[in-house]
Amino acid sequence: MKTYKIAVIVGSLRKESFNLKTAKALMQLAPESLDLELVSIAGLPMFNEDLEGNPPKEWEVLREKIRNVDGLLFLTPEYNRSVPGVLKNAIDVGSRPYGKNSWDGKPAAVVSVSIGNISGFGANHHLRQSLTFVNVPTMAQPEAYIGGAAALFDDKGELNNDSTKDFLKNFMLAFEKWVHTNA
């Protein structure tokens, strides 16, 4: 099977982010045909169309990285029942300038991770709504809402819950099929 380059985009900037820990676990559990790379959105200047004539270097770097991958894996916490501003900003930056949408047609999956029981449901669906508009076909099943994240990792940041590991491994197998079908 072909190897697919996948950008992993984490919507939390916190050093000990459960989303980042989950992203790293997903990368370890992924099938060999998925070559996953964390793409940082930290330090990405806020989108301002006035800057488009001379865009910040960070915008161009993000756009180029997204253009050069076969698929996308998003991880998001939930802030006030939506996605963090930094993640929405990255989507806005990558979708511009008009007519040069870097996200266009890239198959994706969304994982929301939260310490709460609702598991980032609102953020997951808000992100899906934005991805629909930028023409990112997003895997519908299985859905991935990871709740109670504070209890899933050991003091070294390693995933220590076997049922969550099994779920995430199966999620990545489904994502592999999704990318293979849609890339």
For 151, phi and psi rounded to 5 degrees?
-95, 0
Q: What is the pLDDT of residue 102?
A: 98
Counted domains in the chain: 1
For all residues of the chain together, what is the average pLDDT? 96
Tens of pLDDT along 106-153? Answer: 999 999 999 988 889 999 999 999 999 999 999 999 999 999 999 999
Number of Cβ within a 10 Å radius of residue 119: 21
Q: Which domain holds residue 25?
A: 4-182
Tens of pLDDT along 26-80? Answer: 999 999 999 999 999 999 999 999 999 999 999 999 999 999 999 999 999 999 9
**What is the total residue count of the chain?**
183
Token pair listed for 57: 């270097």
CATH number, domain with residue 161: 3.40.50.360
Task: Tell me the chain's radius of gyration from C-alpha atoms.
Answer: 16
